[in-house]
Structures are given as C-alpha cells and as structure tokens.
A and B are shown apart, each in its own frame.
Chain A
Amino acid sequence: NAGVTQTPKFQVLKTGQSMTLQCAQDMNHNSMYWYRQDPGMGLRLIYYSASEGTTDKGEVPNGYNVSRLNKREFSLRLESAAPSQTSVYFCASSEIGGGISYEQYFGPGTRLTVT
C-alpha cells in the first residue's frame, strides 16, 4: 500500500518549457488535490477533482491545467513555465462524506525550479 505517489521528485525547467506532474493514489479515494507550497504562505490549492471525471479551480489555478485520468490518477500540467511557478507541489487525496472533506493524505512532493 503505497498511499499517494508523485513523479518526478525534482525538476528544473527553463522559462517557457512545459511539463506534467504525475500523481497516483491506491486508497480508492474519490477526491484528489494539487497544492503548491511556498515559504510563509502555507499550502495553496491549485485544482481539485471531487470525483473521477470532474475538476475545479482552486485558489491559484492560473498557468496550470489538470487531468483526472481515472480514479487513481490526477496530473498537473504547466504549459509554459514561469519563474513564479518555482515551488514545491503536493498531491493529496481524501474521502468525502456528508459534504465534508475528511483528512487528506499527501504525496512526497515535487520540487520544481524554473529558471
């Protein structure tokens, strides 16, 4: 039982390059999330997927796109990377019950640097 896995762990991009961050969970959770973590700002939600086939914007969606490939996988794409997207990216999953999000389970993170 691996929990939430993310690839890659580290990535360096040049401004304007594109890349996709991969995330998979094996806990059969319906909901999945992408966050970015910046010093002094905590975690900010980029996009989330309430269930397979749905995605919605979070707090900071600009410059990103997502795909919920199936129940297990949720990818984050940067189409044209910018230095402002230098950050640590975390994927998470959770279950939902009675309209409430239960605790989230996080992946190990991807440290992205855009030069």
Chain B
Amino acid sequence: AQSVSQHNHHVILSEAASLELGCNYSYGGTVNLFWYVQYPGQHLQLLLKYFSGDPLVKGIKGFEAEFIKSKFSFNLRKPSVQWSDTAEYFCAVNAGGFKTIFGAGTRLFVKA
C-alpha cells in the first residue's frame, strides 16, 4: 500500500532560519506530489505541487520543493522563515485515480 512519511512531527525555528521538511513516499510509479499548509484555525490550502517537468517547484510565500525520484522524496524548503509561517504542513501523494495519501503532518513553530 502507498504511504507517505514526514520525518519531523514538530519543528521549532527562530525567524530568519532556513527550513527543510522531509517527505518520502512508497509508490514506485508515476506520482503527483503536493504540499499543503494549514494555518492555525484555518482549512488546508495548497502550497505547491509537482506533476511533471522541472523537479524544483516554487510555490506561494517563498516556499519551494524538490522532487528526487531516485530517493522517492519531495522535501519542502524555505530559505528564511517568518513568524507567520507557523502552521502545520502536509505532504500528499497521488499515484493516479481519486485517492490522495496524506502524511501525518509537521507542526512548525517559528519564534519571533
């Protein structure tokens, strides 16, 4: 069965620190990859997505992610976090069809 692993459940950073959140998936075929963000008290919204093409994708608010097929990874990065980036981040994988598998999420807290 497909699975998505997010290695860090909780991350605490100071403002201006760099961020990298890990995401690995278990499916070996063609996949579509997503990162969603859930700000406190809000619903999930899309940060960025990868379907094909350039494996380095850029999303909103300065986030980017790199798809490394050989490592089954899709790690999320941001060079300099802000207090407003405090949120929960979910990696998600769709391997075709209607079922998208979500990781358990990473709670990020940014200290001002």
**Residues on A facing B (Cβ under 8 Å):** 4, 31, 33, 35, 40-45, 48, 50, 56, 58-59, 90, 92, 96, 99-101, 103-104, 106-109
Within the complex, which residue of B32, B42, B98, B104 is in contact with A42, where a contact is CB–CB below 8 Å? B104
Shortest distance between the CB of B5 and any CB in chain A (Å): 10
**Which residues of chain B have C-beta atoms less than 8 A from A109's C-beta?**
43
Main secondary structure of the interface of A (DSSP, over half): strand
1/0 contact string of B80-112 vs chain A (CB within 8 Å) = 000000000010001011111011110000000
**Residues on B facing A (Cβ under 8 Å):** 4, 9, 32, 34, 36, 42-46, 49, 51, 90, 94, 96-100, 102-105
**Which residues of chain B have C-beta atoms less than 8 A from A103's C-beta?**
34, 46, 49
Q: Is B104 in contact with A31, judged by CB distance below 8 angstroms? A: no
**Which residues of chain B have C-beta atoms less than 8 A from A45's C-beta?**
99-100
Known: A40-B104, A100-B94. A90 touches B99 (CB 8 A): no
Q: Is A43 in contact with B102, judged by CB distance below 8 angstroms? A: yes
**Which residues of chain B have C-beta atoms less than 8 A from A107's C-beta?**
43
Tell me the complex Cα distance, A31–B97, Å. Answer: 11
